[in-house]
Amino acid sequence: MMADADLIVVGGGISGASLAYLCAKAGLSVTVLDSNKKMGGCLWTHKSKAGYWHELGAHTCYASYGETLKLIEELPDGLKSLVARQKAPMKLVEGGQIKSLFSQINIPSLLFNAVKLPFLNRDGKTVRQFWGQVVGANNWERVFSPVFAAVPSQPADDFPASMLFKSRKKRKDVPRSFTIENGLQALVLGLTNHPNINCITSTTVKSVTKDAAGNYVVATGESSFVSRLLALAVAPDSAANLLADVNPKLSKAIGCIETCKVETIGVVINSESTQLPNAAFFIPTNDSFRSCVTRDVYPHEKYRGFAFHLSPKVGDSDAIARIEEFLGVPRDKWLDVNRHQVVLPSPKLGHAEIVKIVDQLIAGSTIAITGNWFAGLAIEDCVQRSQSQADNLVNLFNEMSAPQNQSGSTDGK
């Protein structure tokens, strides 16, 4: 079968988009397949008819995101597109009451324990084990466990401590925290707007097989796509399913990683219609939603936007009723409501060993695997993983494309 592209990328989030862009930049023809109506994945910005945007997924980049910033610099507007995040507090929601984070912390316990931080090692510890030592056991259970759970929109107590809140070198020429104009999804859309990239949305990949020539045949419900190289940038459960035929050992290794679905409801209202205080986040200790992320850090003169990341098994009607109650605004007064769903990894101790096995199984092969389930869930972790995988693919492609001499070896002249 004739190849449709040099590389097929399954998954159009930041991981797939950055890998596709880096390979396209190196001269490969790339086809990106995604099941959503547009590229974005966990970077999902909703834009209302009035032009007001707010995030339903990832919401912030930081000055420490060095590789991400390099990609932004290569887009048409470059660093001019950065919008600095304004300060807004984090609020807890306990028993239906909104409280300041500081007021709920046992300060003596925090001060007594925090001095241990420089002497503690994250390796081999869960988030609870490591950070519980830093803030104190009672502070962890009452306050910080819900706060940390708001980051991956799921309980983070059993995550490997090494995967959250990493220390990275910060750039001095950009805001400490920021988004880009029109929201973070614009980054994905900008990266995939490359002449060597063909994006096909609203298509679900059903299977991956190989033809007689060793090309990958990626089948959707409507058609098939053929390529010499394959990259998967999807959740672990999806990656495991797609690899079952072409690499059973790799499929089995990836299938060990747990996942969870996160449902999000986004709401836009008139600013004057709610009495909610200004806040970056509202984090309940026990509620129908794990967190509510606002756009208050990028204030608008007329509107406020809220993304409610729901707790598991909360029905739609119950979620809407609770959001009405929380906002103090009935459903018929909402200016816009929208939904998004993602599948996120739920890593546990031993995750690094699984990643090591995955990397061993794909080393030197025509398969690349990227996503938010390798070094961490942060945007920068995704981009760094995609950078390394793109380098591998480009090097392999160049070797495969190099002229061969009569003995079959690569001509080094």
Provide the residue ranges of all domains of the chain, joining segments of one domain with +. Answer: 5-82+176-257+349-401, 84-88+259-345, 102-163
Task: Return the pLDDT at 394.
Answer: 97
**Average pLDDT of the chain to the nearest whole number:** 94
Indicate the CATH number for domain 84-88+259-345.
3.90.660.10
The residues facing 198 across adjacent strands are 31
Summarize the confidence of residues 170-199 as an average pLDDT.
97
Task: Return the pLDDT at 411.
Answer: 45
* 332 φ/ψ sector (left φ>0, alpha ψ -120 to 50, else beta): alpha
| Strand ranges (E), 37-148 | 45-47, 53-55, 61-62, 82-84, 90-94, 97-100
Lateral strand order in the sheet of 303-310 = 97-100, 90-94, 281-284, 289-294, 303-310, 259-270, 336-345
Report helix angle 379-401 to 66-74, nearest 10. 60
pLDDT (tens digit per residue) in 148-184: 999 999 999 999 999 988 889 999 999 999 999 999 9
**pTM score above 0.75:** yes
Q: Which tokens in the block code for residue 195?
A: 């002449």
Cα–Cα distance measured from residue 72 to residue 63, given in angstroms and rounded to the nearest whole number:
12
Looking up tokens 């797609």, which residue turns up?
Answer: 242
Q: What is the number of other CB atoms lying within 10 angstroms of the CB of residue 337?
A: 14
**Contacts with 212 (C-beta within 8 Å, 6 or more apart), sequence order:** none
Cα–Cα distance measured from residue 317 to residue 132, given in angstroms and rounded to the nearest whole number:
36
Give the residue from 94, 13, 48 showing the smallest Cα distance to 306.
Answer: 48
Residue type, 100: S
**Contacts with 183 (C-beta within 8 Å, 6 or more apart), sequence order:** 45, 47, 53, 54, 55
Q: Which tokens in the block code for residue 189?
A: 């859309």
Cα–Cα distance measured from residue 78 to residue 306, given in angstroms and rounded to the nearest whole number:
28
Backbone CA torsion sign across 74, 181, 61, 334 = negative
pLDDT (tens digit per residue) in 115-142: 988 888 999 999 999 999 999 999 999 9
Residue 360 has phi, psi (to 5 degrees) of: -65, -40
The share of the chain scoring above pLDDT 70, in percent, equals: 97
CATH topology assigned to domain 5-82+176-257+349-401: FAD/NAD(P)-binding domain (3.50.50)
pLDDT (tens digit per residue) in 316-367: 999 999 999 999 999 999 999 999 999 999 999 999 999 999 999 999 999 9
Quote the DSSP letter at residue 160.
Answer: B
Task: Return the pLDDT at 412.
Answer: 42
Q: Is the pLDDT of residue 225 over 90?
A: yes
